Chains A and B, each alone.
Chain A
């Protein structure tokens, strides 16, 4: 230990001992980053009306409450449906756009790219009230279709960027070879290019899913009635009081997110 503390830590002559404060500080930061979210998990198994940590008595009553509530269940299914559909629509649209922009190198391609990633830059509240206004006219308000379309727009930039950067590091000559051997362009793409950028495409699909699943503000304005999302209901519940049911729902959301991350890591693991 002593020896390690006195050993040089970097190119300059600073020792680990002199840097100890930095290590301690960073350890605390890491705990602060991760702990607050994770602490919700044990708390959700508390038996008491108030959320405690660690819980004195363990129970699953808040999960039962969640699972037996028709409103929460309907909101959960709406969110899952919307997220799945968003992923199913945004991924092909985004991959198509990324491929189109990559292969057709017009001068104004860059402009189209910027236009397509604006949803990432425009403040969400503006997108929300804008979509609200248009949906009233198009009679899409409070429909699943409307929600999915809006979330697709939010997810497109992520798909475009992730897939686009994969295409950039992919050697297009491989597709050219396939085509010179007689494959039509779409076939060359599907059988040669797509398998090689599949990790990026899977990541994109996952990001699209999460974008929709976690989104609050747009959903607050354009989802409602039977098609209210889970996040919308949670947000409204949070404004009123601290309902321990939310802890169980949060745990479920964390579980879903983590499961998706693990799936993408496992599927991407085959890349190398």
Chain B
């Protein structure tokens, strides 16, 4: 008798266990179903992006004879024209980043010192170009910088130089255009990291006798470095893959990696060379973004404010 009671009690425990397990399973299924909501988006990204890029990765290791080879990568090291392109890309990206830091950092500092309302108003100046078409902005610079353009006209009018100088269709024009387009990408993360700095630290520093300049350099500046670092990295990365602005403002004199990739496909139908360049660009981009993401949330950039 006693045994029977025990076993029925056991059964009951079993049942409730099973019940719980069933619930758990149901919850699991539901979550899976919810995750299924991602599948259309995921499928599309797979077809249009992941699979083709994977294929490019594969093609980059195939030589002209159809066998596995590293010749596409060796070409980058051996051929002078390729070395030149890699160098130019690097040069343009570094210079643009430096210009953006020199202009963007003080401006972000200015924004961070303003009362909220005024800062938001001034932020419009940053966000307005951010939302304007890249092509339109590049075109605007082309018009402004051309030989008979506004910049030459005004500079001559003010006596800065005597006759029209060439400021577009070369490196100068490219750098001006790219810095203009990249500035918001530096200003926004730097500004948001400056906003997060506790003002009391500065108060403390000046209470302890630091001059304003010293308080800035020893307290404020180091605290703003992570934002500056992330912003610079992002600008640098975006510059590496730039296409439109150097193509239009460089006038064929500034050839960057992405332009070479395009011409490899459009003119020479050389998938091997194009994909190898692409893989190098991709690996660099992902690695640098990964580093940047450790300092600032990348999503914040898109939200703008």
Contact = CB atoms under 8 A, between A and B. Distances in A.
Q: Size range of the interface on A?
A: 35 or more
A40 B148 CA distance: 15
B4 interface: no
B278 A13 contact: no
B135 A231 contact: yes
Contacts of B31: 103-106
A25 B48 CA distance: 45
Contacts of A22: 106, 109-110
A161 B303 CA distance: 8
Contacts of A94: 41
A250 B286 CA distance: 33
A25 B125 CA distance: 14
B139 A246 contact: yes
Given A13-B206, A104-B35, A37 B129 contact: yes
B228 interface: no
Contact of B52 (A11, A13, A130, A242): A130
Interface string B28-54: 001110111110111011011111110
A131 B49 CA distance: 7
Contact of A12 (B44, B210, B281, B282): B210
Contact of A39 (B140, B142, B183, B203): B140
A36 B111 CA distance: 21
Nearest to B32: A104
B244 A32 contact: no
Contact of A26 (B110, B137, B215): B110
Contact of A214 (B52, B135, B206): B135
Contacts of B37: 96-97, 99-100
Nearest to B216: A12
Contacts of B240: 123
B42 A97 contact: yes
Interface string A131-157: 111100000000000000110110011
Given A96-B37, A122-B49, A161-B303, A9 B42 contact: no
A12 B42 contact: no
A257 interface: yes
B55 interface: yes
B132 interface: yes
Contacts of A39: 140, 143-144, 150
A216 B41 contact: no
A174 interface: no
A115 B42 contact: yes
A131 B50 CA distance: 10
Highest count of chain B CB atoms <10 Å: which of A10, A105, A257: A10
A172 to B, nearest CB: 12
Interface stretch (A66-74, A190-198, A232-240): A232-240
A214 B134 contact: yes
Contact of A123 (B48, B131, B282): B282
B76 interface: no
Nearest to B128: A34
A126 B53 contact: yes
Contacts of B110: 22-23, 25-26
A14 B136 contact: no
The 4 closest A-B pairs by CB, nearest first: A130-B52, A100-B37, A123-B241, A14-B212
Interface of B: 30-32, 34-38, 40-42, 44-45, 47-53, 55-56, 103, 106-107, 109-111, 113, 122, 125-126, 128-129, 131-144, 146, 148-150, 180, 183-184, 199-200, 202-203, 205-206, 210-212, 215-216, 240-241, 243-244, 247-248, 258, 261-262, 265, 271, 274-275, 278, 281-282, 285-286, 289, 299, 302-303
20 contacts: A10-B199, A12-B210, A26-B111, A29-B103, A30-B107, A34-B125, A37-B128, A39-B150, A43-B143, A97-B42, A118-B49, A122-B286, A125-B278, A129-B56, A129-B262, A129-B274, A129-B278, A133-B56, A216-B135, A238-B248
